[in-house]
C-alpha cells in the first residue's frame, strides 16, 4: 500500500515562502492523482492543489492559484508544493494524499494520506 510522508513545514513571516515535500513509497501503478490538502483548527479539511502522474495536469484552489505551485519528480516518487507570498490565512496542517482516481478534489476520494506538516504564517 502507498505510504506518504510530508516534510518542510515551518514558521514563516507573512510574505515569505515555504516549499513542502511529500515522499511516496510507490506511485507507478497505484496512484494517478496526488494532492495537497490543509486543515486549520476548527476548520474542515480543504483542497489546495493536485497533480496527475500522467500528463502533469494541475488544479488549484482559487485563493492559492497565483501563489502556490504543485510539481512532481516521478523518478523520485516526490511531490512538492512551492508556496509564495504566504498569508496568515494559510496557517494550517498540510497533508499530502493520493488516489487512483483522476482529478478528485474532495478528501473522501483519497485513500492514502500522510501524517501532515505544520505551516504557521505570522503577521
Q: Which of 39-43, 64-68, 100-104, 117-121 is least confident?
A: 100-104
Grid cell, residue 120, equals: 504557521
Q: Which residues pair with 112 in a beta bridge?
A: 98
Q: Under 8 Å CB-to-CB from 55, ≥6 apart: which residues?
A: none
User: Of the candidates 40, 21, 32, which has an alpha carbon nearest to the alpha carbon of residue 104?
Assistant: 32
Which comes out higher in pLDDT, residue 102 or 62?
Answer: 62
Average pLDDT of the chain to the nearest whole number: 93
**Chain centroid to CA 67: how far?**
13
C-alpha to C-alpha distance for 58 and 33, rounded to whole angstroms:
10
Grid cell, residue 73, equals: 519528480
Amino acid at each position: 500500500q502507498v505510504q506518504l510522508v510530508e516534510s518542510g513545514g515551518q514558521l514563516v513571516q507573512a510574505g515569505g515562502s515555504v516549499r513542502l515535500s511529500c515522499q511516496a513509497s510507490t506511485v507507478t501503478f497505484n496512484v494517478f492523482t496526488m494532492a495537497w490538502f490543509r486543515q486549520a483548527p476548527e476548520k474542515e479539511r480543504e483542497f489546495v492543489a493536485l497533480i496527475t502522474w500522467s500528463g502533469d495536469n494541475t488544479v488549484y484552489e482559487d485563493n492559492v492559484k497565483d501563489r502556490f505551485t504543485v510539481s512532481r519528480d516521478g523518478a523520485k516518487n516526490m511531490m512538492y508544493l512551492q508556496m509564495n507570498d504566504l498569508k496568515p490565512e494559510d496557517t494550517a496542517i498540510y497533508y499530502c494524499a493520493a488516489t487512483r482516481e483522476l482529478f478528485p478534489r474532495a478528501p473522501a476520494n483519497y485513500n492514502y494520506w500522510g501524517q501532515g506538516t505544520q505551516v504557521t504564517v505570522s503577521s
